[in-house]
């Protein structure tokens, strides 16, 4: 019941990427798995840990994806494996809504303590990020007795019907999957790199436009919730210009609107703080979490002000598997690991190394329009030289070149022109540096 020894922390290529065994498996995948479920890099993984993924062909790849910001503590982190294995052997499921267990309560207590603000809080657990966002909307509507929900340009909140509606980008998330839920309104976000009158005007102008749209098109009194990612994830790691988030929070407060921070991608030390909204001292009314919470096991949460969380009637929230005991045990192991290894400090260090190297590359390669992000949530936005015109072709070519060299990188962005880097926070620095060398070589090549 104890964790396997850490894999050798090295990049090792013994075949082309993907290798022959991965290609065989990919052929089976194409015949067995629905086409709508894509794969970014079809290497089939057998083991993973620290900063590497090992595949069926014996290759060892450097991981700049962390399963999309999930394995912040690394794959199969010792405390996650130990606690989850022990729980797995004791019991796997009772349904918390039928006969409860301590792990769920302990996770709720941890989240109530770790999330911003020292007010009284409550937590409810779910299975996925989308489910957490849906429940935040249910709770905000029950509390305010209003219906409208405000979201932002470039926002991403999931793939269920309600959260597709909340998500901005059509392809691939929404195309052909409508109709979408009503009472969802989208307003501008402060995207400094693309703000037409300049980054210095971005926060104030974007906030004024968003607030004006809410007042004029919806009516502030009709708005139950404003939902925003403190750094937009799928939208391209857009860090709203400083001052924008506080202005929106202030407006929400003045108008009795529940402010929801969707920290599903930014949470759990990813940005060098427990939660990204701490950066501007924001205390959300509700906060949604998932991805990094449980070291890879499916778990999600809504945490927030007791009076708001308790507004939903008994039996109104829940789900068969929500807060599964094994996932809760894993979360307790993951949170313990984050504290013990001081993963906030590790994320900050990753950010320093990455931003330094990537800014130096920006000087050399004129397709790199913007370098941004915080902690271990860093991205570069690629453009046609001398313009800000999105360059998704170069993003795809660089990603492909990195993959061929055994570095897992992901793309993002409304225009598909952003490369995003999300290493596990336990990645050793020599792998981080080697990964950055591979990125630099890829730019030289394209």
Ligand X SMILES: *Cc1c(COP(=O)(O)O)cnc(C)c1O
Choices 46-54, 122-130, 191-199, 270-278 (CB under 6 A): range interacting with ligand X: 122-130
Angle at 231 between CA 126 and CA 271, to 5 degrees: 85
Handedness of CA 137, 166, 114, 249 (dihedral sign): negative
Q: Which of 18, 50, 116, 158 binds ligand X (CB under 6 A)?
A: 158
Eight-state DSSP code of residue 15: S
129 makes contact with ligand X (CB under 6 A) = yes
Q: Residues in the chain, how many? A: 446
262 makes contact with ligand X (CB under 6 A) = yes
Q: Which of 165, 233, 406, 413 binds ligand X (CB under 6 A)?
A: 233
The closest residue (CB) to ligand X is 129
Angle at 57 between CA 56 and CA 59, to 5 degrees: 100
Cβ–Cβ < 8 Å for 15, 392 = no
Handedness of CA 256, 235, 406, 41 (dihedral sign): positive
Choices 5-13, 129-137, 272-280, 416-424 (CB under 6 A): range interacting with ligand X: 129-137
Smallest gap from residue 377 Cβ to ligand X (A): 11
Nearer to ligand X, 83 or 154 (CB): 154
x-or-dash string of contact with ligand X, 272-291, rule CB under 6 A: ------------------xx
Q: Which of 63, 153, 229, 279 binds ligand X (CB under 6 A)?
A: 229
Determine the distance from the C-alpha atom of residue 26 to the mean position of all C-alpha atoms in its chain, rounded to a whole number. 26
Smallest gap from residue 357 Cβ to ligand X (A): 25
CB atoms within 10 A of CB 170: 13
Q: Which of 56, 61, 108, 130 binds ligand X (CB under 6 A)?
A: 130
Choices 9-17, 262-270, 307-315, 420-428 (CB under 6 A): range interacting with ligand X: 262-270
Nearer to ligand X, 36 or 386 (CB): 36
- SS3 assignment, position 240: coil
Q: Which of 121, 146, 157, 420 binds ligand X (CB under 6 A)?
A: 157
373 makes contact with ligand X (CB under 6 A) = no
Tokens 């991403």 map to which residue? 156
Smallest gap from residue 415 Cβ to ligand X (A): 18
Question: Which of 173, 188, 189 lies closest to 230, judged by CA?
Answer: 189
Nearer to ligand X, 41 or 238 (CB): 238
Smallest gap from residue 66 Cβ to ligand X (A): 12
- Report how far residue 8's alpha carbon sits from residue 5's, in angstroms, rounded to the nearest whole number: 9
| Cα-based distances in Å from 349 to 62, 65, 344, 397 | 18, 17, 9, 28
189 makes contact with ligand X (CB under 6 A) = no
375 makes contact with ligand X (CB under 6 A) = no
x-or-dash string of contact with ligand X, 291-320, rule CB under 6 A: x-----------------------------
Count helices and strands (H / E) in the chain: 13, 15
- Report how far residue 150's alpha carbon sits from residue 184's, in angstroms, rounded to the nearest whole number: 6
128 makes contact with ligand X (CB under 6 A) = yes
265 makes contact with ligand X (CB under 6 A) = yes
**Number of chain residues interacting with ligand X (CB under 6 A):** 14
- Report how far residue 191's alpha carbon sits from residue 396's, in angstroms, rounded to the nearest whole number: 22
Smallest gap from residue 93 Cβ to ligand X (A): 20
Smallest gap from residue 405 Cβ to ligand X (A): 27
| Cα-based distances in Å from 343 to 272, 288, 436 | 7, 20, 20
- Report how far residue 343's alpha carbon sits from residue 218's, in angstroms, rounded to the nearest whole number: 42
- Report how far residue 155's alpha carbon sits from residue 58's, in angstroms, rounded to the nearest whole number: 38
Smallest gap from residue 259 Cβ to ligand X (A): 15
Smallest gap from residue 231 Cβ to ligand X (A): 9
Nearer to ligand X, 291 or 374 (CB): 291
Q: Which of 73, 77, 124, 133 binds ligand X (CB under 6 A)?
A: 133
DSSP line for 155-201: ----SSHHHHHH----TTTTTT--PPPSSEEEE----GGG-TT-HHH
Q: Which of 264, 328, 338, 379 binds ligand X (CB under 6 A)?
A: 264
Choices 150-158, 195-203, 248-256, 433-441 (CB under 6 A): range interacting with ligand X: 150-158
Q: Which of 101, 104, 156, 421 binds ligand X (CB under 6 A)?
A: 156
- Report how far residue 292's alpha carbon sits from residue 128's, in angstroms, rounded to the nearest whole number: 11
323 makes contact with ligand X (CB under 6 A) = no
In what order do the strands lie in the sheet containing 52-55?
A: 45-49, 52-55, 60-63, 407-408
The site for ligand X (CB under 6 A) is made up of: 128-130, 133, 156-158, 229, 233, 262, 264-265, 290-291
């Amino acid at each position: 019941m104890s964790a396997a020894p850490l894999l050798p922390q090295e990049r090792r290529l013994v075949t082309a990427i993907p290798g022959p065994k991965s290609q065989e498996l990919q052929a089976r995948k194409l015949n067995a798995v629905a086409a709508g479920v894509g794969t970014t890099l079809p290497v089939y993984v057998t083991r993973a840990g620290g900063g590497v993924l090992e595949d069926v062909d014996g290759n060892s790849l450097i991981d700049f994806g962390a399963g999309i910001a999930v394995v912040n503590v690394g794959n199969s982190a010792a405390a996650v494996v130990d606690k989850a294995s022990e729980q797995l052997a004791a019991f796997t499921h009772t349904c918390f809504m039928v006969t409860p267990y301590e792990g769920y309560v302990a996770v709720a207590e941890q989240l109530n303590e770790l999330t911003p603000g020292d007010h009284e809080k409550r937590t409810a657990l779910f299975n996925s990020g989308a489910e957490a966002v849906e429940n935040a909307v249910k709770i905000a509507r029950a509390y305010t007795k209003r219906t409208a929900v405000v979201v932002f340009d470039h926002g991403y909140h999931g793939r269920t019907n309600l959260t597709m509606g909340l998500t901005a980008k059509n392809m691939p998330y929404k195309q052909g999957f409508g109709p979408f839920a009503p009472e969802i309104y989208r307003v501008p976000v402060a995207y400094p790199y693309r703000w037409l009158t300049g980054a210095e005007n971005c926060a104030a102008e974007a906030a004024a436009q968003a607030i004006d749209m809410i007042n004029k098109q919806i009516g502030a009194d009709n708005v139950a919730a404003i939902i925003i990612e403190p750094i937009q994830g799928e939208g391209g790691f857009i860090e709203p210009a400083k001052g924008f988030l506080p202005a929106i929070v202030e407006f929400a407060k003045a108008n009795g609107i529940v402010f929801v921070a969707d920290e599903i991608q930014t949470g759990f030390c990813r940005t060098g703080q427990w939660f990204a909204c701490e950066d501007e001292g924001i205390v959300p009314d509700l906060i949604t979490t998932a991805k990094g919470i449980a070291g890879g096991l499916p778990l999600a949460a809504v945490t927030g002000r007791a009076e708001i969380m308790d507004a939903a009637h008994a039996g109104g929230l829940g789900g068969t598997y929500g807060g599964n005991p094994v996932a809760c045990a894993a979360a307790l192991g993951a949170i313990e690991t984050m504290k013990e290894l001081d993963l906030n400090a590790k994320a900050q260090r990753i950010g320093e190394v990455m931003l330094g190297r990537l800014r130096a590359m920006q000087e050399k390669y004129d397709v790199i329009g913007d370098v941004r992000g915080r902690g271990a949530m860093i991205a570069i936005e690629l453009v046609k030289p001398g313009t800000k015109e999105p360059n998704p072709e170069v993003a795809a070519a660089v990603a492909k070149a990195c993959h061929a060299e055994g570095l897992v990188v992901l793309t993002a962005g409304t225009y598909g022109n952003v490369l995003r880097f999300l290493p596990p926070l336990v990645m050793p620095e020599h792998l981080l540096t080697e990964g950055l060398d591979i990125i630099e070589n890829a730019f030289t090549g394209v």
